[in-house]
Amino acid sequence: MRGLPTSEAITSCPGVLHKQPFVYLYFILFELYQQFSIHQHHEPLDWPETHPNSFSHHTTMSPHALQTEDIPSYKAMMAEFSVTENGFLPLEAPLKFLPDAYYEPWERIIHHLSSLLSAGKFHKEIRNMPLLSTDRLKTEAEWRRAYVILSFFLHGFVWGGETPQAILPPQVAVPLLRVSKHLELPPVATYAALNLWNFSSHTSHFHELDQLESLHTFTGTKDEAWFYLVSVAMEAEGGHVISSMLRALEAIKTRDYATITASLDKLSGTIRKTGALLERMYEECDPMVFFYQIRPYLAGSMNMESAGLPNGVFYDEGEGRGGWQQLRGGSNGQSSLIQFLDVVLGVEHFSHGEGPRSVKKSQAPTFQQQVREYMPGPHARFLDHVARLGSIRELAMVEPTTPEQERLRESYQAATRCMTEFRNKHLQIVTRYIVLPSKKARQAGGAAPAPAQGGRVNIASASEATSDAKELTGTGGTALMPFLKQTRDETLQAGDLSQGGRA
């Protein structure tokens, strides 16, 4: 720091002391501060001229304000519930291998899964496989990788033969139960195992469908890989709107109509893009291949009496321990993204056959509530949390008195129409991939057109024996078509704002 006049120098100039006493006081205080700083072993403050930016630094917002700006509350919320910039997909593509060589027996079998199943050697490999501990799994990515592997082992073992295997050996049951408990998931192939954590990408943009690859399939077919990857791309596309809708929910308190309207408009565009990805299912996934070769492996053990599992599956933990489990199979109904869209739009779902005007409603949880148990724990809690943040629908129900309110109402109704159209597209997919193949099989006397399936007993053979499309059961264990139609209708009803509300 350059030299400054001392207090002694000031007192030697009576004119300065007489005319500007405050200058003298200033230098006295400054000199005392320097002495105090030296005593405390700190460098004295520099004079502003030596650091021209020092004043501007002290006139900006506080460090706390900067932190709030850099990490908005909605981003902190997303991080708390393991929601990333890719939505419910991980931030980085899932692991292709477990790094610890201890798990080589798992990796060897999973990388030859489809060939072992087609050759009829899979069951022998599983029975000869050592029972491995989960203690050497370190990161969440490793736990997820283990869950994917063991879930594929489970379904390959149960559904990979001529008849279902009702007893799961300890080599799979024990580690699967432990991994599932860690991830807060049921021990079955959920949507997370088949889709969220079962892909690789040639780019960092997971919504680019043609740049994705499935890590594992049961059949080794392009059809099966494509079936999973369409969902991955949809999750990535839809995930981009999560932060925007969280901002919209935050804006309810301040009645920031512009922010909410802009978020709803973005949501409509995202739903349309997601629907366009869904329609690409037809490009690489043949309905007959899906119905006879892929779908049987995806079935769970709930409501599968006609498919050969009247009691579900027994998870043998060895030494006389174990238990029966009746669990849903993987289905897109377990997508946290779809439920998030319902939550932010205020779409209310009811038990099958009921509606908003039902006189007596069932106390049983709805399908949407039940399948939250099939989502990763943090994601399910995220949905519960978002549901408590406020209702855009209630705000849209208020009779508009300003142009801003009118625009919000129009944007909300447009978003519900987009969501309804998305569910119509899903109904068309289900009709083409499940209803029509099962109908063709019944008309042909139950003869499956895929010889490789022979006389197998599984969900496909059960569907062939079903006399009515209304009785078809999905891999998630639901009455398929009635459930999907009711869900579509409930989405349409959400856009009906004829009942007024209050601000």
Q: What residues are paired with 323 via a beta bridge?
A: 315
Residue type, 484: L
Asked whether 88 and 196 are in contact (CB, 8 A), the reply is yes
Q: Do 215 and 148 touch, CB atoms closer than 8 A?
A: yes
Whole-number Å distance between alpha carbons of 118 and 122: 8
- 321: enclosing H helix or E strand: strand 321-325
Cα torsion for 253, 258, 261, 262, to the nearest 10°? -120
Nearest to 212, CA basis, from 105, 331, 220, 204 = 204
What does the alpha-carbon distance between residue 437 and residue 414 come to, in Å, rounded to a whole number?
34
How far is residue 221's CA from residue 212's CA, in Å, rounded to a whole number? 15
- Extract the tokens encoding 464: 């062939």
- Give the span between the Cα atoms of 247 and 90, in whole angstroms: 21
Query: What is the CA angle 442-435-192, rounded to 5?
Result: 130
Six token digits for residue 251 = 């804006």
Q: Which two tokens stand for residue 200?
A: 């690789």
Beta strand pairing call for 313-318 and 167-168:
parallel
* Residue 397 structure tokens: 């129900």
- The answer to whether 7 and 31 have CB atoms below 8 angstroms apart is yes
170-183 and 140-159 helices, crossing angle to 10°: 140
Whole-angstrom Cα distance, residue 464 to residue 439? 7
CA-based end-to-end distance of the chain? 61
Tell me the C-alpha distance between 75 and 316, whole Å.
42
**207 a known binding residue?**
no
Give the whole-angstrom CA distance, residue 235 versus residue 194. Answer: 13
Can you read off the two tokens belonging to residue 469? 């499309």
- Rounded to the nearest 10 degrees, how much is the dihedral formed by the CA atoms of 114, 116, 122, 127? -120
Nearest Cα residue to 193 out of 154, 251, 249: 154
- Annotated binding-site ranges for heme b: 426
- Annotated binding-site ranges: 426
